[in-house]
Amino acid sequence: MENNFTVDNDAFMKFLDLLATESGRVVARYYQTDVSVESKADATPVTVADRLAEEKLRALIGREFPDHGVIGEEFGETNADAEYVWIVDPIDGTKSFVAGVPLFGTLIGLLRGGEPLVGVIANPILGFTLCGDNRRALCNGRPASCRPCDSLSEAVLSTTSPLSSARHPQGKNFTRLTEQVKLYRGWGDCYGYYLLATGRVDIMLDPAMKPWDILPLIPVIRGAGGVITTWRGDDPVKDPTSAAASGPGVHDAVIGLLNA
Amino acid sequence: MENNFTVDNDAFMKFLDLLATESGRVVARYYQTDVSVESKADATPVTVADRLAEEKLRALIGREFPDHGVIGEEFGETNADAEYVWIVDPIDGTKSFVAGVPLFGTLIGLLRGGEPLVGVIANPILGFTLCGDNRRALCNGRPASCRPCDSLSEAVLSTTSPLSSARHPQGKNFTRLTEQVKLYRGWGDCYGYYLLATGRVDIMLDPAMKPWDILPLIPVIRGAGGVITTWRGDDPVKDPTSAAASGPGVHDAVIGLLNA
């Protein structure tokens, strides 16, 4: 029975693929249309595409795993103290989505006893589905991994909002970091973590995260051989409020500089 | 004969479309492959895709208009004092291209007597071809225009390199501008100008441009009803070293703030 855990993960990874495909169909229908945008209480935007896709995801999960919990960005918590809890964010990067820029994605993760078990980052426009289970990552079915990078001066760094990163209490150190890397770009939201886990950037930083933004990313980044912590260097499962993700070769340097 | 000028432009616009399509075929073949990257004398990267696409463009132009000049990023100037001179940059945004990020594009423009006559921004991965002739702009054959925006607080601003913009001699004012707009993002290179000319961002700024980066953009931005100047507010044809492009409703405010 020693393979039980892996077998479970395989089944969950397959189900993640299905969820991402179905949610992606809804989202793609509204991409680059004049979808109307509302501001939520926290001033983040939401569209009908977010809501319809989350409803779709909740329906699919409820049918397959009626005793699992679900936490979603748009419709809150359902049975959140279950052993297995799904975290869903059908459009991470709504500001990009609304501008018709394809740098957004669907994030779905599964927690078991509060620990991230599997997760997916998917984008129906660019056509990728990147799953991970902390031990491996698969992009469109093929192994994905962070690339080697041992020096900040060779690293490509990305962040979602250059302004939020620079204005953060650790923002001066963030700015120093942007000056030390080879290239700094604003390839944002979950798309930046996808780039990290497929070996195309080396560091992805976001100063403000919500549980549904970061928890699904964790098994993907770890599965690709990367490290993900808070900006302080702490466990992002216990404190899902910021993200510092990179390959293992530069993570200590990133955290050291952010906290200098 | 009063329509002669427009007829000329129509023919040139059609030819631009052909050039963008043919160049795009070359570029798409190398996208998200492990293309090797060289650093040029000015430290900007170049790939075999840039070179092959520029060769293709030069061959097509030379066959159709043997007495026209050509200025290209990779192969320099040919007959640059001709009445008509083509400006070609097959991959504007090579750093994005190399990272497998689709925010790059092919830029081609035509000058007549030194003045930009027609231009195109095209991307074979995202599937758009946006042409302009200073009086109109067409995206995949349909009219394109900047969206109305009369207030910085309602504007979406983008730049290619957040660090270069912040470090520019006018960088402090740039940073103040990023704090006054509704949203600031790093959707870079010619893709940002495409977003402006199709009504999806309101301001696009780059502190450092080369003639082949900016001259092809000018007839597109103006054709979409936008304004494009240097960061000082000057004519970018005479000084093609920086770009401040926006809709007409906020351009004075942008230039005022950048030069405060």
Taking contacts as CB-CB distances below 8 angstroms, the residues of chain A near B163 are 178-179, 184
Residue in B closest to A161 by C-alpha: B185
Q: Phi/psi zone of residue B211: left (φ > 0), alpha (ψ -120 to 50 degrees), beta?
A: alpha
CA distance A185 to chain B (A): 6
> pLDDT by residue (tens digit) across A215-248?
999 999 999 999 999 999 999 999 999 999 999 9
Write the residue in B101, B178, B201 that is nearest to A163 by C-beta. Answer: B178
ipTM: 0.92
Which of A101, A147, A202 is best to mutate for the B interface (most B CBs within 10 A)? Answer: A101
Do residues B236 and B243 lie in contact, with contact meaning Cβ atoms separated by under 8 Å? Answer: yes
- pLDDT, one tens digit for every residue, chain A (260 residues): 344 445 578 999 999 999 999 999 999 999 998 777 777 767 677 788 999 999 999 999 999 999 999 999 888 899 999 999 999 999 999 999 999 999 999 999 999 999 999 999 999 999 999 999 999 999 999 999 999 999 999 999 999 999 999 999 999 999 999 999 999 999 999 999 999 999 999 999 999 999 999 999 999 999 999 999 999 999 999 999 999 999 999 999 999 999 99
> pLDDT by residue (tens digit) across B37-46?
777 766 677 7
A58 at B interface, C-beta within 8 A = no
What's the confidence (pLDDT) of residue B207? 97
pTM of the model: 0.94
B46 at A interface, C-beta within 8 A = no
CA distance A156 to chain B (A): 9
B126 at A interface, C-beta within 8 A = yes
Do residues A62 and A82 lie in contact, with contact meaning Cβ atoms separated by under 8 Å? Answer: no
Residue A155: CA count within 13 A, CB half-sphere: 28
Average pLDDT over residues B125-142: 97
d(CA B173, CA A86): 45
Tokens of A127: 């056509």
Average pLDDT over residues B238-249: 97
CA distance A143 to chain B (A): 15
A147 at B interface, C-beta within 8 A = no
Per-residue pLDDT for B10 more than 70? yes
Domains defined for chain B, CATH in brackets: 7-143 (3.30.540.10), 152-258 (3.40.190.80)
B179 at A interface, C-beta within 8 A = yes
| Opening angle at CA A157, ends A151 and A159, nearest 5 | 155
Q: Do A161 and B178 touch (CB under 8 A)?
A: no
Residue in B closest to A189 by C-alpha: B185
d(CA B260, CA B244): 15
B163 at A interface, C-beta within 8 A = yes
Residue A221: CA count within 13 A, CB half-sphere: 30
d(CA A245, CA A53): 27
Q: Do A185 and B186 touch (CB under 8 A)?
A: yes
| Opening angle at CA B128, ends B130 and B155, nearest 5 | 70
Do residues B186 and B163 lie in contact, with contact meaning Cβ atoms separated by under 8 Å? Answer: no
Q: Do B201 and A99 touch (CB under 8 A)?
A: yes
What's the confidence (pLDDT) of residue B2? 42
Taking contacts as CB-CB distances below 8 angstroms, the residues of chain B near A102 are 102, 126
For chain A positions 211-250, those within 8 Å of chain B (CB to CB) are: none
A42 at B interface, C-beta within 8 A = no
